[in-house]
Amino acid sequence: MNDILFMLGDVPVRTSTALIAFGALALVLLLIIAVVISRSGRRGAEMAMAQAIRADELEERLSEMMRAQSEATGRVDAMGQALAGRQAEMARAVSERLDSVTHRVGQSMEQTTRNTMDSLRVLHERLGIIDNAHKNLSDLTTQVTTLRDVLANKQSRGAFGQARMEAIVQDGMPKDSFAFQHTLSNGKRPDCVIFLPDQRPLCIDAKFPLEAVTALHDARTDDEKKFATQRLRGDVMKHVTDIADKYLIAGETQDTALMFVPSESVYAEIHDGFDDVIQKAYRARIVLVSPSLLMLAIQVMQQILKDARMRDAADQVRTEVMNMMGDVERLRDRVSKLGSHFDQVSEDVRQVLISVNKIGKRAAKIEELDFSKDEPAADAPHIVKTDNRDLFQPQSSRKLQAGE
């Protein structure tokens, strides 16, 4: 045991010393290993705890990811369903729009066809009207020619003027207020007389100085115009003088007579170009009238006759007004009675509503099975004795009693 194993410098190393050193070294190594193992175990536990914590965190994250994935899946499904619904709605809307457009196009084509047919029908009608107008124009040409031939003759022209005057008078006056070719006390017969309220006739005579007006229109030189003007002035004044001498009789006829010119253009020519003739005629108490002015005068005279009849019938009108006032008084009394009937009906309706409310309350109690004995005695129904005659009276003449 004390053998020298080797020399370490000048110091010999023996076996026991080596064993002791080796044992010490082994003990140190064991201590180091124990320390290392304990530290490694502590680190392993810490690492294990850290790994467990990380595993929990990973598990939580994984669960969150699964949940998020499930939510995303649900959202994707909802979006898919919404998209499918939107697509279906869009397809339906497109289909409806196409149907609507097709229907509108069909209606438009049908309307266009109908309008085209209507236009063609109207065109045919217009063509027919044009054909009729052409025929009427041809007939009018013939009539104008005939009228020219008629106006060329003095007697025919006078008959034409008298016919126009008679038509205007007959259209505007009552039958018993005028007469044609009435004989006056001097034996003269004017073309028409109108009996005014004072029973003095207003004389109307038709004159047509067409030849003088035509000569004035056809005049080309100053001498011709001067001659035609003198001729027209002389013809009109001659007619005015004849009417004043023949048809103005003091106390028998009106103080004014009418000279009827049956042409608006001839009357306008005389009125515009011969003011002195018009003034002389006024002073002679002769008024020149055209067809339109004669119609106006007829309307005025018709109103005068109407006012006269109203004055004559004033007593009758007063009697009728008094009778009407009596009718109004009776109507007021009957309306007052009707108002009282309405008031009575309103009271009856109020009583009926009270009965209906009571019936509703009793029905509610029956539904709740509440038959309390302390309900007011006023709610208890009672029988009202009435005569049999009251049953046949009007509703407004009897009142409903409480509880009926």
Rounded Cα distance between 176 and 170, Å, is 10
Strand partners, 259: 205, 288
Q: What is the number of alpha carbons within 13 Å of residue 281 lying toward its C-beta?
A: 25
Would you give the DSSP letter of residue 199?
S
Residues in the chain: 404
264 neighbors 292 (Cβ within 8 angstroms): yes
Would you give the DSSP letter of residue 3?
-
Where on the phi/psi map is residue 4: left (φ > 0), alpha (ψ -120 to 50), or beta?
Answer: beta
398 neighbors 352 (Cβ within 8 angstroms): no
Topology at the third CATH level for domain 157-312: Trna Endonuclease; Chain: A, domain 1 (3.40.1350)
Rounded Cα distance between 345 and 347, Å, is 5
Rounded Cα distance between 287 and 374, Å, is 105
Predicted pLDDT of residue 377 = 44
What tokens were used for 371?
Answer: 């038959």
Predicted pLDDT of residue 9 = 67
Angle of helix 291-312 relative to helix 264-273, nearest 10 degrees? 100
Closest listed residue to residue 270, CA positions, set 293, 245, 253? 293
Strand partners, 66: none
Rounded Cα distance between 75 and 175, Å, is 99
Predicted pLDDT of residue 160 = 67
202 neighbors 196 (Cβ within 8 angstroms): yes
246 neighbors 186 (Cβ within 8 angstroms): yes
Predicted pLDDT of residue 170 = 86
Predicted pLDDT of residue 52 = 81
For the chain, the distance separating the N- and C-terminal CA atoms, rounded to the nearest angstrom, is 143
Predicted pLDDT of residue 36 = 79
Residue whose pair of structure tokens reads 């869009």 in the numeric block: 90
Predicted pLDDT of residue 144 = 55
What tokens were used for 93?
Answer: 């809307």
Q: Any idea what the Cα angle at residue 272 is, between residues 269 and 276, rounded to 5°?
A: 110
Would you give the DSSP letter of residue 222?
H
260 neighbors 206 (Cβ within 8 angstroms): yes
Rounded Cα distance between 240 and 219, Å, is 25
CA distances, 71 to each of 56, 64, 85, 182, 386 (Å): 22, 10, 20, 117, 82
Predicted pLDDT of residue 370 = 55
* φ, ψ dihedrals at 289, nearest 5°: -130, 145
pLDDT by residue for the chain (404 residues), tens only, comes to 566 666 666 667 667 777 777 778 888 888 888 877 877 777 777 787 887 888 888 888 888 888 888 888 888 888 888 888 888 888 888 888 888 888 888 888 888 888 888 888 888 888 888 888 888 887 776 655 554 554 445 555 566 677 888 888 888 888 888 888 888 888 888 888 888 887 788 898 888 776 766 777 777 787 877 887 888 788 888 888 888 888 888 888 888 888 888 878 778 888 887 888 888 888 888 888 888 888 888 888 888 888 877 777 777 777 888 888 888 888 888 888 888 888 888 888 888 888 888 888 887 877 776 555 444 444 444 444 444 444 334 444 444 444 34
What three-state secondary structure class fits 11? strand
In sequence order, what E strands does 15-59 have?
none
Predicted pLDDT of residue 401 = 43
Please report the sign of the dihedral spanned by the C-alpha atoms of residue 232, residue 238, residue 241, residue 242: negative
Predicted pLDDT of residue 1 = 56
Number of Cβ atoms within 10 Å of the Cβ of 278: 17
Mode of pairing for the β-strands spanning 257-260 and 286-289:
parallel
Rounded Cα distance between 148 and 43, Å, is 145
Rounded Cα distance between 79 and 90, Å, is 15
